[in-house]
Structure 1
C-alpha cells in the first residue's frame, strides 16, 4: 500500500464519518453571510464587529470568573480579561468607530502578514531555486505593500472580498455535502 493509498483511505474514512447535513448547514450559513456581506457590506460589518465587542466583553468576564476555580497563570488571565473587557466596552460604546478601527487593523495585519509570507517564500525560492515560489513571494510582498499604502480603500473592500469568499465556500460546501451523502449511501 503506497502513501497515496493510505491518504485516500483516510480521506474516505473521514468522509464516511462526517455528517453530511452538518456540511450542508455550514454551506448554507456561509452563503447567507456571503450574501449579507455583498449586499449590505457596511451594515454587516458593523453588526459583526459589534458582536465581536460583546464576545470580547463576555469572554473577559468568564476569564475573570475562571480564576475562582483555576488560579494558574493568574496574572496573564487578569491581563487578558481586562484587555478583553476594555476592548468589548470600547466597541459596544462606539460600534461605528470600532468597526473602522477593527477592519483597518485587520488590513494592516494582512498587509504585514503578506510581506512576511512573501519574504519567506522568496527565501525558500532562493534556497531551492524554485521560480514558482519566488513569483508567489514577490506577489505576496507587492500585495502586502499595496494594503499598507492604501489601508482605507482595502478596509472598504474587505467586506466585499470576505463576502465573495464566503459565498464561494458556501456553494462548494453545499456541493460537497451532497457528495458526502452520496458516498455514505
Structure 2
C-alpha cells in the first residue's frame, strides 16, 4: 500500500517536483563523499565561509552604526562590533589555522558543557521520566567528543568532518529514495 494514498497539497507539490528532491539528494551525497575523502579541504571551506560571513557581518554592522550615529547614543557599540567582526574575517584569511583551532575549541567546549548539563538534567529527572539513561548516554558521548576535540583538535576536527560527511551522504541517499517514490506517485497517484 502506498503511503501517499491521500491527496494533499504537500504530496502534490513534492510529487510534481520529485526531480528537485532527487537533485538535492545527489548534491548531499556528493557533498558527503567529498567531505569524507577530502576532510582538509572541507575544513578550509568552512573556515573561508566563516571568514566571508564575518566580513559581511562586520561591514553591515559598520554601516548600521554610521547610519544610526545621529539618532542613537550607543551607535559606537555597533561600530566596535562591526570592526571586530571585520578584523576576525581578515584574520581568518591570513591565519586560517588559528580560526580552525578556535572554531574546534568552541565546538569542544560546547560539547563538553552541554554534555555535563545533559547528564545532570537526566539524573535530576530520573524519578520523573523513564528512559533517562538515553539522555545520560547522549551526555556522556557529548562529553567524550568535547574531551577528544580538546586533546587533539586537528584529528578531532577531521573526525568531525567525517561525521558531517556520513550524515550528508545518508541524507542524500534518503532523498534520492524519496525522489523515486515521489516520481512513482506522480506517475501513478493511486498506487
Separation in 2, partners of 1:177, 1:79: 48
- Tell me which residue corresponds to 2:48: 50
Alpha-carbon distance between aligned partners in 1 of 2:11 and 2:19, rounded to the nearest angstrom = 12
Q: CA, structure 1 residues 24+59, in 2 after alignment: closer, same or farther (shift >3 Å)?
A: farther
Q: Distance in 1 between matches of 2:100 and 2:184?
A: 42
- Alignment partners' CA distance in 2, 1:75 and 1:179: 56
- The separation in 1 between residues aligned to 2:115 and 2:165, in whole angstroms, is 20
Match of residue 59 from structure 1: 57
* Runs of 4+ with deviation above 6 angstroms: 68-73
Are the structure 2 counterparts of residues 143 and 14 from structure 1 closer, same or farther at C-alpha, using a change threshold of 3 Å? same
3-state SS, counterpart of residue 124 of structure 2: helix
Q: What is residue 161 of structure 1 aligned with on the other side?
A: 163
SS of residue paired to 1:126: coil
Aligned residue for 1:150, secondary structure, equals helix
RMSD: 3.0
Distance 1:23 1:69 in 2: 43
Alignment of 1:16-55 (within 5 A): 16-18=12-14, 19-55=17-53
Match of 2:86 in 1: 85
User: Between Structure 1 and Structure 2, whose CA radius of gyration is higher?
Assistant: 2
- 1:108 alignment partner in structure 2: 109
Q: Using the TM superposition, give the Cα deviation of residue 158 of structure 1 relative to its aligned residue in structure 2, in angstroms.
A: 0.6
Q: How far apart are the structure 2 equivalents of 1:166 and 1:69?
A: 42
Change (3 A) 1:90 1:124: same
Distance 1:36 1:177 in 2: 22
Aligned ranges 1:8-23 → 2 under 5 Å: 12-18=8-14, 19-23=17-21
**Number of residues of Structure 1 aligned to a counterpart in Structure 2:** 174
Greater mean alpha carbon deviation, residues 13-22 or residues 36-45: 13-22
**Per-residue deviation at 1:154?**
2.9
After superposition, the Cα gap between the structure-2 partners of 1:79 and 1:137, relative to the gap in structure 1 and judged at 3 Å, is farther
Following superposition, the deviation at residue 74 of structure 1 comes to: 4.8
Q: Which has the higher helix share?
A: 1
TM-score, normalization by structure 2: 0.74
